[in-house]
Amino acid sequence: MPDPNTPKADFSDVESGSSSTAPPANDRTYTVVKGDSLSKIAKQFYGDAQQWRKIYEANKDQIKNPDLIHPGQTFRIPGA
Amino acid sequence: MHAHGPRVFALSFALTAIALAGCKKETPPQNETAAAAPAPAPAPTPFSVTGIEVGKQVGADKRVTNPTTTFGPKDTIHASVATDGAAPKKVIAAKWTYQQGQVVKEAAETIAPTGPAATEFHISKPSGWPAGKYKVEISVDGSPAGSKDFEVKK
């Protein structure tokens, strides 16, 4: 148990920071419409159709086959 | 006429098929109705903390370059949290404490990991750290995920 009578150190000037290799969480989502493909969605969000795998990896729980996505599915779009 | 003619033909057909398969280039999916043999999707790795290190520096990969548990009063102290797995949103928090639990600093990073990642936290004190024992406690979405003890010596 901390002793309440122990003088406390002064940490008021402590500076801190943080960063990550993981993309920051954001709430961008996209609902698939007829005619969509992962490449098309990647082009729309990243400007690069080749980034389709990023969307696939983030939504593997609901994409069984990257060639086959269905209207109405809502995907999380990771930050660029 | 050789008796094994059909066998040679079959072998040559198989070799051609293998060669063609080897030349196949990965192409992005074009549309939702593209025909493709359903391939079993690998199960996503559940998110977990795989390691916590403290040290005086981190690299571009956000991992501590030389882990240590002893620091000087003017050192910047880094804690790197290695994680694996994918998740739409995870809050990685670091709580730095001194001696018997006095809170030094708390910080958090909200991430959307898609695989192995490293999240780095650091603290510095321009006026110098008081000597003593410290701890950094890491939590994920509010649940304890590990801690690391270290010491500052004069």
| Chain segment A10-69, per-residue pLDDT in tens | 999 998 888 899 988 865 778 888 899 999 999 888 888 999 998 998 888 889 999 999
Q: What is the pLDDT of residue A28?
A: 72
Closest-CA residue to B54 (of B129, B123, B154, B131): B123
Judge: A14–B121 Cβ closer than 8 Å, yes or no.
no
- pTM assigned to the model: 0.61
- Chain B, window 84-103: residues with a beta carbon less than 8 angstroms from a chain A beta carbon: 86, 88-90, 92, 94, 96, 98-103
pLDDT in tens, chain B (154 residues): 444 554 544 445 444 444 444 444 455 555 554 445 556 666 668 899 999 999 999 999 999 999 999 999 999 999 999 999 998 889 999 999 999 999 999 888 889 898 999 999 999 999 999 999 999 999 999 999 999 999 999 8
How are beta strands B117-124 and A29-31 bridged, if at all? unpaired
- Would an 8 Å CB–CB cutoff place B34 in contact with chain A? yes
Q: What is the pLDDT of residue A74?
A: 85
Q: How far apart are CA B114 and CA A56, in angstroms?
A: 10
Of A14, A36, A60, the CB nearest to B104: A14
Q: What sections of B1-154 are H helices per DSSP? A: 5-22
How are beta strands B117-124 and B143-152 bridged, if at all? unpaired
Chain B contact set for A26 (CB, 8 A)? 112
**Across the A/B interface, how many CB contacts are shorter than 8 Å?**
152
Chain A contact set for B136 (CB, 8 A)? none
Q: What is the pLDDT of residue B39?
A: 64
Q: What is the pLDDT of residue B80?
A: 98
CA B139 to chain centre: 15
